[in-house]
Amino acid sequence: MAQDSPFTVDADWLQERLGQPGLTVVDASWYLPAQKRDGRAEYDAGHIPGAVFFDHDLVSDQDSALPHTLPSPQAFARYVGTMGVSADDTIVVYDGPGFFSAPRAWWMFRIMGVFQVYVLEGGFDRWKAAGRPVTAGKTPIAPCIFHADFDAGRVASLADMRRIVEKGESQIADARGPGRFAGTEPEPRAGVRSGHMPGARNVPASALSENGELLPKERLSALIAGSGIDLSRPVVTSCGSGITAAVITLALETLGHTDNRLYDGSWTEWGGLADTPVATGRD
């Protein structure tokens, strides 16, 4: 296991255990259009032996107008069961750079009742660069029954966020970049206003890791506190569409902060409505 977080593993740990019964490796790579990377295409071209692909666009509520909306526990269980993933497995999830989309899959598995789930430090980019085992072959899949035990209390709704913004009962940590948070850069999705929820604090997801590894606890704590988040109080994490908010969630949990929720609709929902208040600037 990695030394500084109970939720990450390093490449040595994983390579030593590849192929062992009860270990499932999940490629959860997903990218923004600006990154000009295709997670599925990269997986097909080469992945960690035995890895299955977790498609964030498919493992979502297909009836929602919003991207990446959390599916029902039943739908999640059906999808990951067809991937051959059991709730009893030890699951290691990864993406390309290390801490971008993999924490979203980590969070989803956790709120569906899986606690032996970890994120691979360094991601696939470092794994491949180090000359570790890579294959383009299809992973044999034995579908199974996934038993979901959904913790709805870890998810914040639009109604929750309206109340939080009005009454300040919880802090809001926004994982988007400073320009999008401040409203000086346009949103990548059409029809979504620029800015942030009043009272939110900017904790860019990209600042929480370095060289594909989560920052050490002391630096994480200092960065989050420096962003204006009080770790003794409840926190709701948010981002553009619910993906990178989970990077903050993982950081919070690493620091022992468990009174947190993730706003699944995130800024795409809030900024896409006409009647929600929007603030601009750094604060």
What is the per-residue pLDDT for 149? 98
pLDDT attached to residue 282? 87
CA dist., res. 104 & res. 83, Å (int): 17
* Mean pLDDT, rounded, for 47-51: 98
Q: What mean pLDDT is predicted for residues 277-282?
A: 96
Q: What is the pLDDT of residue 3?
A: 59
| Mean pLDDT confidence for 29-33 | 93
Q: Look over the chain and give the mean of its residue pLDDT values, rounded to a whole number.
A: 96
pLDDT single digits (tens) 166-175: 999 999 999 9
Give per-residue pLDDT as tens, 114-157: 999 999 999 999 999 999 999 999 999 999 999 999 999 999 99
- Distance between CA atoms of 211 and 110, rounded to whole angstroms? 25
Residue 122 located in a structural domain: yes
User: Which has the closest alpha carbon to 103: 112, 93, 111?
Assistant: 93
The CA-CA-CA angle for residues 261, 237, 39, to 5°, reads: 105
- pLDDT tens for each residue of 185-207: 999 999 999 999 999 999 999 99
Which residues are known to be catalytic?
Answer: 239
160 with 126, same domain?
A: no
The two tokens of residue 184 are 């000086």
238 and 182 share one domain: yes
Domain for residue 275, yes or no? no
Q: What integer is the mean pLDDT of 32-44?
A: 94
Q: Is the pLDDT at 2 greater than 60, yes or no?
A: no
Residue 87 lies in a domain: yes
- Residue 243: which domain range? 153-270
80-100 mean pLDDT = 97
Cα–Cα nearest to 240, from 205, 215, 274: 205
Residue 2 lies in a domain: no
Q: Are residues 75 and 143 in the same domain?
A: yes
Residue 274's alpha-carbon distances to 15, 191, 269, 271, in angstroms, are 50, 10, 10, 8
The answer on 124 and 235 residing in a single domain is no
Q: Which parts of the chain are beta strand (E)?
A: 8-9, 23-27, 52-53, 90-94, 117-120, 155-156, 171-174, 201-202, 209-210, 213-214, 235-238, 260-263
Q: Residue 127 belongs to a domain with what CATH number?
A: 3.40.250.10
* pLDDT at residue 283, as a whole number: 77
Is 208 within 8 Å of 98 (Cβ atoms)? no
Domain count, the chain: 2
pLDDT per position as a tens digit, 230-261: 999 999 999 999 999 999 999 999 999 999 99
143 within a domain of the structure (yes/no): yes
Residue type, 109: F
